[in-house]
Structure 1
């Protein structure tokens, strides 16, 4: 009964083809049709791909190989640095081709997964032969001229949409693919705050018996590098509380994904509703936001805060962004941080105020002397 209800939750909906809504037509059929004339299919995602994008690319590659008998490639745009994500790539033997090494040929078809064109979240050129876009983000991209797109921001994970496609096409899901899809959904909807729908829950119920549990355990509990703790310490020492908002600054971010790790931790603080982390990586200020409030539209909020300074987007209670720094001087960074702090306070309707340190300066000094 649980399997039947899970399948039912996954198999409802409508498709968008050439920008038109077509009730009753299976999305997976339309997706495959958009690739029928291709000689090779390449899957790309956003910069620093996460488990949802990695699992989605692997699942769609399996679908295309089985139904169209076409060769496929899955890629990475930038590095994969978060410990759990690296473990996922290594343990599931994901062969990721760097996007900068790709040269398009006649007959190539590109599918963008877990992202949308012209959102500033990827680095492929305009010459990429984009044939399809499959995503669940609320940050809208430029979909003009793309033969097929399936954008469902009300769904918690892109991996859920891919699982639906596999079910529609009645394709067996190998344990490796099931593990990747399951972990991709988990990371999107099973943390805090939780953003899941019956469709996501149905996908989890369907995939769990098929997944390799030992590999899942190893991925979930990946061993952490020393830089993880250095970054967390710096974030704790630099965190300031403004009413129900906590802002953490990391001036030397070891890896871009660690800004998200900081806010995943900080949003659990019982005295705040919002957590923001800004960290410098290379010549960019990486921003990550979490909120415990339902209906907060964090992605839209961060877009307004960042404005023309950079790029941002996300979900109801999770968001991320990036601002390119003009120079790496301390004064320039202080100015950007001060500007962002004021914008966050204004956007969240918090009176301008002096922040209170999460860890008092006296305690820091005492720890140093101990």
Structure 2
């Protein structure tokens, strides 16, 4: 897929006027990087639309206001079809982190993540001067000159939109579409409540975004492996009171676990949905909660403990466990431990799981 006639970004001043007695956050951010030769934007492993959109928006801000050289990166892979479509259709160039070289005058800005959270493949030697995020999973930000973590906001793109408006920087359809889709994936559907700042950002971006491109990204074509993974997840879903746990032995991409729980949490008999699956040598976890104030991120972090890393938001969370062995016994032991911890954390009595789809129904479907 190729970018469709991308226009040169416009820096026409918008009519938004911010008056404040204190220095704007965006002023402080720009002041921190004004002496840099080049600004590199980094995010978490396997970047999602919010992290990609945030990098695009901040890069546009830095180029428009300071005229700096910029570099956007990706840590790990971009596997989910919609995310690949976003990158391809918008013509975004993301440099792999394992190919990055740092030179004098380079600085790094981390978006949609925080240092020392276990969500990066390698943070060593990162010339980090700023962290901009919205997650309530705390990292170690000591010593970093500029930190803006807005736990009250539903998306990091919302923070970036505020910066752009504060600096009266207009955005092209390319930037607006990237940020709009990033916000959409975080806020739409049933993830978490949007703040007034999120709503203002959406209203500002919507008229500027390319609606046709947004539709193409949302409806990206899916490979056969996606449907095979979904079938396996449904056939391996077990109900424990108000919790449903699903298993995919070989995830075609890590993001499938999140797609599975987004679907399963709609099951009328459960309040919690968890999907686990293997991707390479990692056990990938994703969780969703239907109720408000569920603190899913805190719960999954407690459940995973020292086995790996986890975190997230009020109603959704994710994590990963690096497996020393992916043998049947090693994976089974890890899953049993996680299941017991989940039941205990949710105050559910130990019980035998009931299949979402019975073996009889599976066999009948195969024979029909």
How does the TM-score come out when normalised to structure 1?
A: 0.93
Question: Given the alignment, which residue of 59, 78, 81 partners 1:80?
Answer: 78
CA distance in 1, matches of 2:322, 2:193: 30
1:28-56 deviation per Cα after TM superposition (whole angstroms, max 9, x unaligned):
00000110110000000001100000000
SS in 2 for 1:331: helix
SS in 1 for 2:330: helix
Query: Taking structure 1 as reference, are residues 259 and 215 closer, same or farther at Cα in structure 2, changes over 3 Å only?
Result: same
Q: In the alignment, does 2:30 pair up with 1:63?
A: no
Q: CA deviation at 1:224?
A: 1.1
- Give the match for residue 128 of structure 1: 126
- Give the match for residue 215 of structure 1: 213
CA distance in 1, matches of 2:282, 2:192: 29
1:129-168 deviation per Cα after TM superposition (whole angstroms, max 9, x unaligned):
0000000000011101101010011100000000000000
Q: In the alignment, does 2:337 pair up with 1:339?
A: yes
Q: Greater CA deviation, 30-39 or 185-194? A: 185-194
Give 1:182-201 correspondences, 5 Å limit. 182-201=180-199
- Give the match for residue 107 of structure 2: 109
Where in structure 1 do 4 or more consecutive aligned residues deviate above 2 Å? Answer: none
- Give the match for residue 12 of structure 2: none
SS in 2 for 1:322: strand
CA distance in 1, matches of 2:138, 2:124: 17
1:116-138 deviation per Cα after TM superposition (whole angstroms, max 9, x unaligned):
00000012332110000000000
CA distance in 1, matches of 2:148, 2:219: 33
Q: CA deviation at 1:110?
A: 0.0
Q: CA deviation at 1:83?
A: 1.0
Q: What's the RMSD between the two structures over aligned residues?
A: 1.5
Q: Please say if residues 255 and 281 of structure 1, whose CA atoms lie closer than 8 Å, have aligned partners that are also in contact.
A: yes
CA distance in 1, matches of 2:81, 2:53: 16
SS in 2 for 1:251: strand
CA distance in 2, matches of 1:128, 1:97: 15
1:328-366 deviation per Cα after TM superposition (whole angstroms, max 9, x unaligned):
110111111111000000001111111100000111122
CA distance in 2, matches of 1:85, 1:303: 26
- Give the match for residue 298 of structure 2: 300
Q: CA deviation at 1:25?
A: 2.0
How many residue pairs were aligned?
354
Structure 1 residue runs of 5 or longer lacking an equivalent are 1-6, 14-22
CA distance in 1, matches of 2:169, 2:191: 33
Give 1:216-295 correspondences, 5 Å limit. 216-295=214-293
Q: Please say if residues 188 and 195 of structure 1, whose CA atoms lie closer than 8 Å, have aligned partners that are also in contact.
A: no
1:42-76 deviation per Cα after TM superposition (whole angstroms, max 9, x unaligned):
00000110000000000000000111111100010
- Give the match for residue 346 of structure 2: 348
Structure 2 residue runs of 5 or longer lacking an equivalent are 1-15
